Amino acid sequence: MKIEFHYDFGSPNAYLVHKAIPALVQQTGIAFEYVPILLGGVFKATNNVSPAVSLQGISNKPEYQQIEIKRFCKTHSIKPQVDNPYFPVNTLKMMRGAVFAQSKDYYSRYIDAMFSAMWEQALKMDEDEVITGVLNAAGLPAADIFAGMAEPSVKQRLIEHTETTVQRGNFGSPTFFVGDEIFFGKDRLRDAIEAALGYADVAGDKKMSEEKTAGRVYHEREGHILKITIDNVAKKNAFDPIMMEQLSDAMTLLETSDDLWAGVLCAAGNDFTAGLDMPKFFGPTALKVERAAGNIDPFGLTNQCSKPIVTAVQGIVYTVGIEMMLAGDIAVAADDARFCQMESKRGIAPLGGAHFRYITRSGWGNAMYHLMLCDEFDAAEAYRVGLVQEVVPAGTQVERAMELARMIAANAPLGIQVMKKTGRKFIEAGEQTAIDALPTVYERVMDTEDAKEGIQSFIERRAAVFKGR
């Protein structure tokens, strides 16, 4: 499980949380996902103001806030922030830089440098030359980062991050999300950790309740992207019928939401999935859960998702895990991923599409080799035969999948969807059927606002900004 940390460098309490996180990660094993937002935009959208303003004229409360800061610092063995004489500082460029750095291997170093400059060095971080000096001192590519700050897609992602966090209930920073549950303020950090761990008492015996050990599939929005996460870590993310229903519901949300243009399917923990929890599907106590009428089939055998899906896999990727991956469009594998289609070892056969999708991705010989041997093979072999499109270091696969989804979502969504649909026509019915579909493609995309925007952006030599209309 992970905790989303929605932050702005202008928040001193966000700085304190940032300093506390490394020790908490070491103690609990929880991953923190740093999500950059623009605090000024959040305040404007929610009619909120900073504590520096809201506490003016109130007796005793500002003094109490200082007591709470000291308590937090003592609890987490960190030093309090230094008062910045330039506060409040316009953090727009710093936060745009954070959005740009999200997809880079120096993201954490960038965050450290910006927080340190604001709350340890007390610098005036709304001036280009000061930011440049901080970046250079930290060994970061200042020129590249400033160029990234100016990219329209980066600016748009920061807007989307800010709008999305407000839509989810946020009104300030630091804010934490555990799934769809929100926790505000540094003093709720421990509550967020308890929710992520599913423990009644983080400092106690850490016995998980039966309720919280149940597997689930949850989803989160990032702009035009829906991130879908499989979470049944205690059982290597094996699926039960309820989880399968939840996955179908999430994919249906992706399919039916006009503002969602791409999906990412990933998994918590060290493994993507060990496959089905067989007794819960086929045993005497099997659960009977029917997919809702009209819902998307996660295996794409009946009702298929028209939106692009990038799948990130790691560790064990067995049976239905491979079939779900192949039902998507692009797969990113961690270098520790291990694949196996072992159904025939159990006296059955693949039922989720492997029998034909292996062939379309890998060719007959490669497909039969692995389907008939029921062997386990690594990420390099999966890449060689075309089952996955990228292999990345373990731990980076989800962010790389998100990066690819962002790149896809920067293109015209209607064009992407129609292309995917007609591409499937070729797979299903051959070349002539795909050719015959071209007039429909033309009608669907040429008379749209996005088509006009694409042409105009070409004329004006700028990045296009599509609306899905």
The residue with greater pLDDT, 435 or 311, is: 311
Distance CA 327, CA 341 (A): 15
Helix (H) / strand (E) element for 118: namely: helix 107-119
* Residue for token pair 């303020």: 185
Q: Is 197 helix (H, G, I), strand (E, B) or coil?
A: helix
Distance CA 287, CA 234 (A): 19
What average pLDDT does the segment 173-197 reach? 91
Q: Which residues pair with 267 in a beta bridge?
A: 230
Distance CA 14, CA 5 (A): 9
The residue with greater pLDDT, 332 or 105, is: 332
> Using one digit for the tens of pLDDT, what is the confidence trace for 61-90?
888 888 989 999 998 899 999 999 999 899
Is-contact 156 150, C-beta < 8 A? no
The average confidence (pLDDT) of the chain is 88
Burial (0-12, 13-18, 19+ Cβ within 10 Å), 258? exposed
Q: How confident is the model at residue 412 (pLDDT cuts 50, 70, 90)?
A: confident
Q: Is the pLDDT of residue 200 over 60?
A: no
Q: How confident is the model at residue 213 (pLDDT cuts 50, 70, 90)?
A: very low
Please state which of the ranges 249-263, 265-279, 439-453 shows the lowest mean pLDDT: 439-453
SS (H, E, C) 323-346: HHHHHCCEEEEECCCEEECCHHHH
Between 449-460 and 413-429, two packed helices, what is the crossing angle to 10 degrees?
A: 110
Please state which of the ranges 29-43, 202-216, 226-240, 451-465 shows the lowest mean pLDDT: 202-216
pTM of the predicted structure, to 2 decimals: 0.55
* Percent of the residues in the chain that have a pLDDT greater than 70, as a whole number: 94
What average pLDDT does the segment 162-172 reach? 95
Distances (CA, A) of 7 to 31, 33, 188, 321, 449: 15, 10, 14, 34, 34
Q: Is the pLDDT of residue 214 over 70?
A: no
Q: Is the pLDDT of residue 199 over 70?
A: no
What distance lies between CA 189 and its chain's CA centroid? 21
Distance CA 362, CA 344 (A): 19
Q: What pLDDT score does 202 carry? A: 37
Is-contact 133 127, C-beta < 8 A? no
Nearest C-alpha neighbor of 403 from the set 222, 199, 171: 222
- What is the rounded radius of gyration, in angstroms, for the C-alpha atoms of the chain? 24
The residue with greater pLDDT, 194 or 335, is: 335
Sequence-distant contacts of 282-291: CB under 8 A, at least 24 apart: 286/241, 287/240, 287/241, 287/242, 288/241, 289/241, 289/242, 289/244, 289/245, 291/244, 291/245, 291/248
The residue with greater pLDDT, 51 or 200, is: 51
Burial (0-12, 13-18, 19+ Cβ within 10 Å), 289? middle
User: Which domains, and CATH codes, for the chain?
Assistant: 2-178 (3.40.30.10), 214-409 (3.90.226.10), 413-460 (1.10.12)
Q: Is the pLDDT of residue 171 over 80?
A: yes
Please state which of the ranges 25-39, 111-125, 411-425 shows the lowest mean pLDDT: 411-425
Distances (CA, A) of 17 to 76, 83, 164, 172, 379: 9, 16, 21, 14, 36
Is-contact 331 387, C-beta < 8 A? yes
Q: Is the pLDDT of residue 201 over 70?
A: no
What average pLDDT does the segment 273-277 reach? 91
Q: Is the pLDDT of residue 211 over 60?
A: no
> Using one digit for the tens of pLDDT, what is the confidence trace for 329-387?
999 999 999 999 988 887 888 888 888 999 999 999 999 999 999 999 999 999 999 99
Q: What pLDDT score does 7 carry? A: 97
Q: What pLDDT score does 459 carry? A: 84
Q: What pLDDT score does 205 carry? A: 38
Q: What pLDDT score does 267 carry? A: 96
Q: Is the peptide bond before 36 cis (omega within 30 degrees of 0)?
A: no
Residue 103 φ/ψ, nearest 5 degrees:
-90, 5
The residue with greater pLDDT, 446 or 118, is: 118
